[in-house]
Amino acid sequence: MFRPSKIRRSLAFLSFLFPGVASTDVYKYVDSAGHVFYTDNPRHSGYQRIIKTPAAFLFYSPSKKWPSGSGFSEKNRRQFASLIDAAASKYSLDPALLHAVIRAESSYNPEAVSNKGAVGLMQLMPETAARYGVRDRYDPGENIEGGAKYLSELIGMFQSDVRLAVAAYNAGENNVIKYGNKVPPFQETQQYVARVLNYYNRFN
C-alpha cells in the first residue's frame, strides 16, 4: 500500500529532477473497509486534499507560451526589466525593442522551449548560444545577454533597419540577404516582424 510519506518523497524527487512541471492537488479517500485511495481527480466529497504534486510536464512552443496580454506576463516583464535594461545599454539597443522581441519570443517565460529547440526568454538555438558564449540557455541573464548581442549585431549588419534585423532574428540573416535585404516571404517571419513592431510601438 502506498503511504503519503512515500508519495511525498517520490514527488519531491521528481520535482528536483524536473523543476518545470505543472502542479495539481492529490486527494486521499478511505472507504468503510479501510481501503485507501489516492487521486488527482476526486469524484465525490469524501476525498480530502493531502498534498500538491507535479502532474505533467509543460513543454513550450511558439503556440503554447505563458499567457500574453495578462498580469502574469506583465509581472514577468517587471521581474526581468533590470536585466533587459542592462543588456540594452551594453549593446546600444533601445530597451523597448529588446522588450518587444522577448515578448514575441517567449512572453517573458525563461523556461520556454519551442518545438525547434529554441530555449528561454529570447529563444536561443544551441548554435546561437554557443556563438555568443551562453552556457545555460535557461539562465535569464545569460539568455538576455546572448540574444541582445545577436540582435545588436543584426542591427549593425542591416544598417539600423530594425525591421530587417527583427526578420533576421527570426529567419536568420542569410535568408534576409538571400531575398535582397527584404523580409523573407515566410508567413511565420512576416507575422513575427509585425508582432514585434507592434509591441515595440506599444512599449515606446
The pLDDT score that the predictor gives to residue 19 is 42
183 and 85 belong to one structural domain: yes
Question: Which residues pair with residue 57 across a beta bridge?
Answer: 21
Neighbours of 151 (CB within 10 A): 23
Q: Residue 66 pLDDT more than 50?
A: no
pLDDT of 68: 37
Q: Which domain holds residue 25?
A: 4-57
Same domain, 41 and 102: no
> Which band of pLDDT confidence, cut at 50, 70 and 90, is reported for residue 97?
very high
Computed from CA positions of residues 103, 142, 127, 175, in that sequence, does the dihedral angle turn out positive or negative? positive
Domain co-membership, 127 together with 199: yes
Helix (H) or strand (E) holding 193: helix 187-203
Number of structural domains in the chain: 2
- Asked, for residue 62, whether it belongs to a domain, the answer is no
Residues 82 and 154 in one domain: yes
What pLDDT band is residue 30 in, cutting at 50, 70 and 90? confident
pLDDT-based confidence at residue 104 (cuts at 50, 70, 90):
very high
The residues annotated with a catalytic role in the active site are: 105
For 52-74, what is the mean pLDDT?
Answer: 41
Predicted local confidence at residue 46, as pLDDT: 77
For residue 53, what is the enclosing H or E element?
strand 48-57
Instruction: Flag whether 184 is in a domain.
Output: yes
Contact at 8 Å (CB) between 170 and 195? Answer: no
- Domain assignment present for residue 133? The answer is yes
Same domain for 28 and 101, yes or no, is no
pLDDT of residue 65: 41
